[in-house]
Amino acid sequence: MFDAHLDAGHLWAVIVTLIVVVLCILLHYEVSMRLWRSLERARGTLRRRFLMLSFVLFATHVTEIWMFAVGMVLLAQHPLAGSLEGIATLQFLDFVYFSAITYTTLGYGDLIPTGPLRFITGSEALLGFMLITWSASLTFLEMQRHWSARRER
């Protein structure tokens, strides 16, 4: 039978998930906009611009992965919020690893979320896919700008 009542574990999972999702979207927006403006002003070589683009976007995604890992660790501390199964003793980097394979939607299946913790993992997979696509779009726009400039010469 379906129970519409949210217990403390589920409520905590929803709150932590919303906070992490909002922070990741805001971070990605700010980094993307500043990066785009920097690329517009950059007078360096194409190589330098693309390296800057790649490293900044990679660092942003890694930061977002770690933000979700922190959210999962916080949730795992609550007795009703669930945990990760698959390793007897979890370390923080196990949560980072799990966050990375969730964010990228790779999902090896060696670690399995249980209980309300599943809510943050499902949200992370969706948001990770969106943010990776956003970064790919930004990269494509920069490539397109370069191709257009070359044609004009």
Mean pLDDT of the 98-121 span: 95
Q: By C-alpha distance, which of 68, 71, 40 is closest to 53?
A: 40
- Place 145 in a pLDDT band, splitting at 50, 70 and 90: confident
The predicted pLDDT at position 2 comes to 59
List, in order of start, the domains of the chain with CATH numbers: 8-152 (1.10.287.70)
pTM of this prediction exceeds 0.85? yes
Q: Give per-residue pLDDT as tens, 37-71.
A: 998 888 777 888 889 999 999 999 999 999 999 99
Mean of per-residue pLDDT scores for the chain: 92
The set of residues, in sequence order, having a beta carbon less than 8 Å from that of 115 and lying 6+ positions away, is 9, 80, 81, 82, 83
